[in-house]
Amino acid sequence: LKLKPPRNVAPGIGVSPVAMPHLLISRTRNLSAICPCRHSNRHDEFCAYLLEGLDIFTGLSFVVGSLCFLPPFSYDLHLFLLGCGLFVLASLVQCAICIFSLAESMRERGLATFEACENALYLVGSAGFVVGTIMCWPPEAHHKGMDWFVESISLGVYFNLFTPEFEGTILFIVGSLLFVCAAFVNGLDQRNFDTIESRLLGATTSIYMGGSLLFVMGSVAFLPDMGCTKAMATFGAWCFVVGSVLYVLGSVISLIRTARELRSPDRKPLWEGATLSCAKPVAAA
């Protein structure tokens, strides 16, 4: 079934509205990976809440972007471009979070750890979503920068293999599978389920894995030139909407867990007397 413009395919084909989860760790975040300063409790608390808030923001952006690809919204070029723009913005923010988290995990735990492996999977998957979204940018928008980028990296341009939309959708499928693997690795690293915080962490991991599986299903339904009908595209789009909502829910649970960790009485003695200082240490007399 061929549909009307802005695309000559089913709604949202080649542009999988997929949200991306962040790295899940049992400890709280800090900025030691990018700032060598000594940090206070308020500094580390602000960093932890900022990262959790950015994750919720990216999830909500993908929810709105997913709705833009649902029929009949996908017939409107402006709404379609709005969804693509939200995807690019959220994907770039998520890539920045993953880069920071990977640097932090390597500094705190080392390279050969489950934490670093999990975040590396998230980073590669997020980068795939950035490139995939740009490759699926509608040509009706006549954006020279996007067209130049697609022509530069698409193998179909050089070898006449696949269309850019097909390659972009493949990147979405691979990215979704990487997110499933990352959630699985996180589950392997969890050994304590006695506290409420650890149970919240396990719940977030399970929700992320469920959302990633829905994204794999939806991405397959969006493959162009595969005889996808309007009903199939609608099913795939709703898979992405539900998956994005699951990621938002998982991020909210992660925020609650982080708040409980920061308010834990066991952490207060470690915070007392801490000061934020970027000055050089003074040598003892």
For residue 10, give the 3-state DSSP assignment: coil
Distance CA 245, CA 248 (A): 5
Contacts of residue 25, Cβ cutoff 8 Å, sequence gap at least 6? 105, 115
Tell me the CB-side half-sphere exposure of residue 285, using CA atoms within 13 A: 0
Q: What is the mean pLDDT of the chain?
A: 75
Q: What are 39's two structure tokens? A: 């940090």
* pTM above threshold 0.75: no
Tell me the pLDDT band of 281, cut-offs 50, 70 and 90. very low
- What is the pLDDT, as a whole number, of residue 4? 39
Distance CA 244, CA 219 (A): 13
Angle ∠(56,95,128) on CA atoms, nearest 5: 110
Q: What is the pLDDT of residues 171-223, one digit of tens each?
A: 888 888 898 888 888 777 766 677 888 888 888 888 988 888 888 888 888 78
Which amino acid is located at 226 in the chain? Answer: M
Distance CA 180, CA 215 (A): 10
Tell me the pLDDT band of 134, cut-offs 50, 70 and 90. confident
- What is the pLDDT, as a whole number, of residue 242? 93
Per domain, the residue ranges of the chain are 41-266
Tell me the pLDDT band of 21, cut-offs 50, 70 and 90. very low
Distance CA 198, CA 207 (A): 14
| 161 class by beta-carbon count within 10 Å (0-12 exposed, 13-18 middle, 19+ buried) | exposed
Does 31 have pLDDT greater than 60?
no
Does 251 have pLDDT greater than 50?
yes
Q: What is the pLDDT of residues 92-119, one digit of tens each?
A: 898 888 888 888 888 878 888 888 888 8
φ, ψ (nearest 5 deg) of residue 81 = -65, -35
